[in-house]
Homo-oligomer: A and B are copies of this chain.
Amino acid sequence: MILFCMDERSGVSKSSQIVEQIRNMISSGVLRAGERIPSSRKMADILQVHRSTVSSAYQDLWALGYLEMRSGAVPLVRERFPVVSRKGSSNESTIDWASFSSPSTEELWSDYSLARGRRPAGENLPGGTISFVPFRMDKRLFMLKSFRTCLTRSFREEGANLLSYGDVMGYGPLRETIANRMAAHGMDSHSDEILVTNGAQHALDLVLRMMSAPGRSVAIEVPGYSQMIPLLRHHGLEIVEIPMKDDGMDLDLLEETCRVKPPHLVYTMPNFQNPTGITTDQPHRERLLSLCSHYGVTILEDGFEEEMKYSGKVVMPIKSMDSENRVIYCGTFSKVLFPGLRIGWIGAHRDCISRLSALRRFGELSPPSLLQAALQRFCADGHYERHVSSMHRIYRRRMQSALAAMQRYLPAGRVGWTKPRGGYLVWLTMSTPPRTILWDDFFVQAGVDLCHGEEFFPGSPSRKHFRMSISCLDEDEIEEGVRRLGLALRQIYGHETAAS
Q: Which chain A residues have a beta carbon within 8 Å of chain B's beta carbons?
A: 56, 59-60, 62-65, 78-81, 83-95, 97-98, 100-106, 108-109, 111-113, 136-137, 139, 142, 144, 147-148, 151-152, 155-156, 159-166, 184-186, 188, 197-199, 201-202, 205, 209-213, 216, 227, 230-231, 234, 264, 281-282, 286, 289-290, 293, 296, 298, 307, 309, 313-316, 320-321, 323-326, 338-342, 349-352, 354-355, 357-359, 361-371, 385-386, 388-389, 392
Contact = CB atoms under 8 A, between A and B. Distances in A.
Given A202-B364, A340-B166, A321 B86 contact: yes
B325 A94 contact: yes
A214 B460 CA distance: 31
Contact of A163 (B94, B106, B340): B340
A85 to B, nearest CB: 6
Contact of A86 (B85, B95, B323): B323
A307 B60 CA distance: 12
Contacts of A350: 91
B165 A144 contact: no
A112 B365 CA distance: 11
Contacts of A230: 362
Nearest to A206: B363
Contacts of A349: 93, 95, 97
Given A60-B385, A62-B389, A142-B163, 18 more contacts: A59-B385, A63-B307, A81-B281, A81-B314, A84-B286, A85-B321, A90-B323, A90-B324, A94-B324, A112-B357, A139-B164, A162-B340, A163-B341, A166-B340, A198-B367, A201-B362, A340-B370, A341-B370
A105 B152 contact: no
Nearest to A141: B160
A269 to B, nearest CB: 16
A358 B139 contact: no
B205 A364 contact: yes
A350 to B, nearest CB: 8
A231 B163 contact: no
A106 B355 CA distance: 7
A147 to B, nearest CB: 8
Contacts of A365: 199, 201-202, 227, 342
A79 B59 CA distance: 69
10 contacts: A65-B185, A93-B352, A94-B325, A98-B351, A100-B210, A101-B355, A142-B160, A148-B156, A151-B155, A198-B364
Nearest to A188: B89
Given A339-B163, A339-B164, A342-B368, A109 B358 contact: yes
Given A199-B365, A357-B112, A389 B60 contact: yes
A359 B110 CA distance: 11
A144 B362 CA distance: 28
Contacts of A137: 164
A205 to B, nearest CB: 5
B59 A358 contact: no
A234 B137 CA distance: 36
A445 to B, nearest CB: 29
B102 A313 contact: no
A188 B101 CA distance: 23
A136 B164 contact: yes
A321 to B, nearest CB: 6
A472 to B, nearest CB: 10
Most buried by B among A100, A113, A159, A293: A100
Given A186-B83, A352-B97, A362 B165 contact: no
A81 B392 contact: no
Most buried by B among A139, A326, A359: A359
A223 to B, nearest CB: 18
